[in-house]
Amino acid sequence: MKLYIENFSFARKSVFDLAFLLFLLVSLCISSCADEIERPSASAGISFIIRSGAMDTRSVNGIGTSQDTVTALLGGASPLYIHTLYTDKIDCASFCNDDKKILSRSTPITDLNMYDSFGVSAYSYTDSWSESKTPNYFYNATASKSGSGYKLSSTYYWPGASYKMKFFAYAPKDNRNYVLSASTQAGSPTISVTIPSNVDDQKDLLVAKTDELDGNTNTVVPLTFSHALTAIRFVCGDDMQGGTVKSVSLKNVYSKGTYNMETESWSSVNTPATFSQTLNKSTAGTANDPLVTE
């Protein structure tokens, strides 16, 4: 009888342990399933792709146009004439005076020579976008080229259907001349820009933003980058005499400003400066012969 009682006690304990184990497994399964609903698997981690051919080119005068001026270079028996083409974009209306001072920058970036990485910030919220939001999901994260797209250095998942998302990106990242606003700054992110005096040190500033996205989008995020600064290129005109262009200087050009990534506008534009390039470029005066290289 004693042996029977001990066996019975063992059997009851085994049944209890088994029931507890089943309960634990069911609880873990429910918790895991709930977590999968709120945070999808690693395959749905947030990543980005740059739209092919999407580098916007806008100018002082508007989208898709170039401002063309003719400049006479005096000092010889006959003047030399060059054409100055302003390309890409600067919204001049908000701050320019009659002299139409503009910002300048060097080598333009295209789809073929896009930066290997860029900085990106994400805003997550449950109501609607407002200027009280901060980059609470991630701030200035590095997205690096991986195959045909760009992946974040750390994995972030889509937050779920209850949330909405906005992304802001820029390149080059970690450049001391392009400083992103702090993570604590409410509202649209801004970039404080300082154009270095050495033209070779000037980097093409690219910016991108998304529309409001659902928090359960779970697909790669397409980004359309545009040029935040204006490129200036000098070429020969039809009326140009042959000769040598020794140098080109841009005087009284704004070298500092703050760019708003949401409104795509400039503020606090100041500090006029002179930017010069030594060329020693011989030309026969052929129309559209470039005097500076990109």
For the chain, domain boundaries: 2-37, 45-283
Answer yes or no: is pLDDT of 63 > 70.
no
Half-sphere exposure of 134 (CA within 13 A, CB side): 7
CA angle 123, 140, 194 (to 5 degrees): 120
- How close are the terminal C-alpha atoms of the chain, in Å? 98
What pLDDT does 163 receive? Answer: 97
What pLDDT does 14 receive? Answer: 53
What pLDDT does 30 receive? Answer: 42
CB within 8 Å of 169: residues ≥ 6 apart: 48, 118, 119, 120, 121, 143, 207, 208, 209, 223, 225
Answer yes or no: is pLDDT of 101 > 70.
no
Separation of alpha carbons 29 and 44, rounded Å: 20
Position 213, amino acid: L
Give 23: exposed, middle or buried? Use CB within 10 Å, 0-12, 13-18, 19+.
Answer: exposed
With contact defined as beta carbons under 8 Å apart, do 143 and 117 qualify?
A: yes
- DSSP annotation of 290: B
What pLDDT does 74 receive? Answer: 39
Answer yes or no: is pLDDT of 10 > 50.
no
What pLDDT does 247 receive? Answer: 85
Q: Strand pairing partners for 278? A: 247
Q: State pLDDT tens for residues 189-248.
A: 999 999 998 888 889 999 999 999 999 999 999 999 999 998 777 877 777 778 888 888
